[in-house]
């Protein structure tokens, strides 16, 4: 067994943490059949609550914000192979749960009610196959979730999906020498108008080396938004009877 075969998947991520830096924008293939532009469509259903994209303890399925080897969190500094800072910051959150390719094919959940505005096979792009969804909040704020490195998606552009619906499977497209994980970022309306839609649209746009203040103009922390909108657990019926609480 080689040194690399003895390492767990997360240990190897430590050695390959530079892979996230490779998510920077790559040139569009000439005459590529893949569309670059997302459609400008708002969902009819507003966001009611959120869920995590995969099952599991959030402390396990996400990184700790300190060690790239267990996955990057939003705006976490990225590193090279030798663990030296590469000057970039990760946009969004990496989700995974297993070692090696244990989690390849893991079903991915819609994090909030929304409509699919883009889905394309970008195997030739370093974010791989992606799907983008528009989410509308009660105050008319629009946010755009982008699922990347998908093995496959189970959505249609223009169709609405409810929170918890299965929208695809975890993969490693765009990073075939790495391991399966979900890259999830959450963009503001500004990123849609200036980068996902329009004359120079590029749905794979990723400003990895931009200053944090620039990134914050376009993206928010998906983990923070999900956590703030989780549906409170309703106490079981026994709790209501024991405590004399009226059910509605």
pLDDT in tens, the chain (248 residues): 333 333 333 343 433 333 333 333 333 333 333 467 899 999 999 999 999 999 999 989 998 888 877 789 999 999 887 888 889 999 999 999 888 788 899 999 999 999 999 999 887 778 999 999 999 999 999 999 999 999 999 999 999 999 999 999 999 999 887 889 999 999 999 999 999 998 889 999 999 899 999 999 999 999 999 999 998 766 555 544 454 544 43
The Cα 69–Cα 57 span in angstroms is 18
Q: Which residues pair with 93 in a beta bridge?
A: 184
Q: What is the pTM of this model?
A: 0.81
Q: Which residues pair with 126 in a beta bridge?
A: none
Alpha carbon 130 to its chain's center = 9
Report all structural domains of the chain as residue ranges with CATH numbers, in order of start: 3-243 (2.70.70.10)
Q: Which of 242, 204, 218, 9 is nearest to 118 (CA)?
A: 204
What are the strands, taking DSSP E only, across the chain? 77-79, 85-89, 93-95, 107-109, 114-120, 129-136, 142-153, 160-161, 166-170, 182-188, 219-220
């Amino acid at each position: 067994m080689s040194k690399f075969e003895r390492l767990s998947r997360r240990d190897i991520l430590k050695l390959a943490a530079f892979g996230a830096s490779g998510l920077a924008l790559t040139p569009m293939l000439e005459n590529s059949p893949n569309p670059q532009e997302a459609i400008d469509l708002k969902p009819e259903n507003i966001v009611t609550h959120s869920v995590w994209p995969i099952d599991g303890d959030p402390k396990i399925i996400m990184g700790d914000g300190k060690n790239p080897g267990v996955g990057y969190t939003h705006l976490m500094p990225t590193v090279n192979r030798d663990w030296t800072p590469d000057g970039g910051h990760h946009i969004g959150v990496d989700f995974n749960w297993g070692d090696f390719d244990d989690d390849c094919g893991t079903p991915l959940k819609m994090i909030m009610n929304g409509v699919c505005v883009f889905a394309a096979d970008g195997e030739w792009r370093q974010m791989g196959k992606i799907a983008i969804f528009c989410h509308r909040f009660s105050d008319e704020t629009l946010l755009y979730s982008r699922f990347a490195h998908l093995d496959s998606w189970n959505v249609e552009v223009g169709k609405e999906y409810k929170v918890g619906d299965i929208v695809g499977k975890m993969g490693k497209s765009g990073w075939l020498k790495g391991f399966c994980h979900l890259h999830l970022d959450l963009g503001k309306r500004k990123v849609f108008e200036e980068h996902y839609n329009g004359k120079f649209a590029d749905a794979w746009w990723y400003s990895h080396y931009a200053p944090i203040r620039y990134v914050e103009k376009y993206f928010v922390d998906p983990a923070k938004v999900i956590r703030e909108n989780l549906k409170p657990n309703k106490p079981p019926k026994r709790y209501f009877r024991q405590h004399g609480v009226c059910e509605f």
